[in-house]
Structure 1
Amino acid sequence: MFFTSPYFAPGTLIEMALCNAATRGVEVRLLVPHIGDPRVAGWATRAAYEPLLVAGARVYEYRSRKLHAKAAVIDGEWAMIGSANVDHLSLFVNQELVLIARDRSLAEALRIQHEQDLQNAELVTLSQWRLRGWGERSLEMLGKGARWLL
């Protein structure tokens, strides 16, 4: 399960589903920007890391340039691409356009692009993540609180 999203602020159900999948041994990879735009969106994204990392998911922060892709590959045969982010507004408020297709060739093309994008990203490890300072943790709490507004 590979996700690329510039805004990743999942609600409880999505977070639980991803954590459960990772715990079952499903390869869950998330590619998000290193710095959010706006910054509060980045704080909200970073607030979601720890449960995913504990469950065994891999989180990568894209560092090359602005990340705008919104795509997912599930089980190597389902592909999702469109305008929706993984956040409250995209899922429940905004009028988004998303293609979800059971198409192995599209899924493979998106997987290859995801792999290429990972070359310009840095893996966030749980041990590294737990060493971050209280300033960062405080900003993440603000971002988590703002998830419903993003």
Structure 2
Amino acid sequence: MSWASSEGARKTMRANRRRDTTPELEVRRRLHAAGYRYRVDYAPIGGRRRAGIVFTKAQVAIFIDGCFWHSCPEHAAVPKSHADYWGPKLARNVERDRETNASLVASGWSVLRFWEHEDPAAVVSHIRAVLSERSS
């Protein structure tokens, strides 16, 4: 028996990617075209917490968060069915994001979080500014 509420829900959940999402790929393409090299889906300080894009020398970890999974203030939607499951699940994701940020910052890393709906050009511009600041 599947953990999903229906076969349709199971297929939808399985189709969600942890890495190489469309917004992340677009940002990575733009960074690469600008001459930047980085690690992908990498745990900056070990353990299971992985950032989507990591600049190890500059110690910059970048996350491009999905609006649903990370409770975007603009686009978050609480599912109506199985709310007793989804409410705590999504709240825990947000809590885990905060814990990850705190661990990385405590280890000297700069953490950048963007939402999947943000303009990739603006995201790259922000990343480039932080990398420039961290390398000087």
Q: Would you say same fold, with TM above 0.5?
A: no
The one of the two structures with greater contact order (alpha-carbon pairs below 8 A, sep at least 6) is 1
TM-score by length of 2: 0.29
Q: State which structure, 1 or 2, has the greater radius of gyration over its C-alpha atoms.
A: 2
